[in-house]
Amino acid sequence: MKNIAIIGCGIMGSGMAKNFLANDFKVYIWNRTKENTLSLLEKGAVWCDTPAQAVQNADIIFEVTANDESSREVWTGQNGILQTIDPAKIYIASATLSATWIDELIAQCTENNLRFCDVALTGGRVATETGQLTLLAGGDKDTIEELKNTFQAVSKKLFYFGKAGSGMRYKLILNMLQAIHIGGLGEALAIAKSQGMDMNAVGEALCDRPGGATTALAWEGYKTQAEKLNFAVNLITKDLNYAKALAQDLENPLLDDTLAKYKKAIADDKGKLDWTSIII
C-alpha cells in the first residue's frame, strides 16, 4: 500500500484524504489552516508542518490548492514540494491551474527527472466525499496505468488526454462549458418564472431534457439556494479567467458573457457563494 500526501485540504483535498484513509492508505496532510483538518486527523491522517515534510513521507503526492499563486508557493517555496527530489515518487497536480503555470511546473519536474502527472478533478463536493470523482489525466501513460489501483479509492472514472498538461487544459474547457450551461439555465428559469409557470415542473423537466449532471446540480442549487457550498463563485471565476487565457486570440462571446456574470457576482460580494448562485 502506497503512502499518500495531500497538499491542500479544501473541499476536494479533504474528500480525497477521507477516502484514502477509508481504504487503509497512510495519509500525510498539509493545509494552510490546521484547524480545518481536525476531522481528518481524528480519522488517522498525519499532520505535517510543511509541504516538504508531507512529501518526504509519501510515495504519491497530490497538490490540491486553490490557484496558481498557492500552487506555485507549495511547489517551489522554501518548504515546498520540490525540496524533495526523488524520481521514485509520483508528483501530481490536481488543483485547477492555468496552462502557463502547469507548463512551467512540468518543465521544472522534467528538469529534475521527476515523474509528474496532472490529474484534474471533477464531480464537486458529493463526488469527492463519496469517492466518486472523475479524473482528467495527462502525463506518461505507463505512470497513469500504475496509478489506477490507487485512484480507485477516490474515483469512479478516469479520462486520459495525452501528454502532461492536457488533463489541466481539458478541465478548463470543461469548467467553461459547465459555467456557460449554468448561466443559460438561469436565463431559461427566469423566463419560465416571468410566465408564471410551475417552477418545480419546469426544473424537473429540464433535468430530464437537456438533462445531465450540470443541469441537476444547478437545479438543486436553485431549489435550495445552494445551502451547501459545492464550488465557489470566486473559484469558477478564476477558472474562467484561465480558460480565457487558454483561448488566446479566439473569439469566445459565450465565455465572455459568463465570465462577466461571475465577475459581477464577486463585485456584489457573492464570491464565497456557490457557483449556482448566479441563477438564483
Position 193 scores a pLDDT of 95
Specify the pairing of strand 26-30 against strand 3-7.
Answer: parallel
The x, y and z cell numbers of residue 69, run together, are: 499563486
pLDDT of the residue at 229: 86
CATH dotted code for 171-279: 1.10.1040.10
**Rounded to an integer, what distance in angstroms lies between the CA atom of residue 96 and that of residue 119?**
9
pLDDT by residue, tens only, the chain of 280 residues: 799 999 999 999 999 999 999 999 999 999 999 999 999 999 999 999 999 999 999 999 999 999 999 999 999 999 999 999 999 999 999 999 999 999 999 999 999 999 999 999 999 999 999 999 999 999 999 999 999 999 999 999 999 999 999 999 999 999 999 999 999 999 999 999 999 999 999 999 999 999 999 999 899 988 887 678 889 999 999 999 999 999 999 999 999 999 999 999 999 999 999 999 998 7
Q: Give residues with Cβ within 8 angstroms of 209, minimum separation 6.
A: none
Buried b / exposed e along 209-229 (16+ C-beta atoms within 10 A) = eeeeebbebbbbbbeeebeeb
CATH top class, domain 3-164: alpha beta
Exposed/middle/buried for 196, CB within 10 Å: 0-12, 13-18, 19+?
Answer: exposed
User: CATH 1.10.1040.10 spans which residues of the chain?
Assistant: 171-279
Burial class (CB in 10 A: 0-12, 13-18, 19+), 263: middle
pLDDT attached to residue 230: 86
pTM: 0.96
C-alpha cell at 65: 490548492
Instruction: State the pLDDT at residue 1.
Output: 79
Kindly report, as residue ranges, where domains of CATH 3.40.50.720 are found in the chain: 3-164
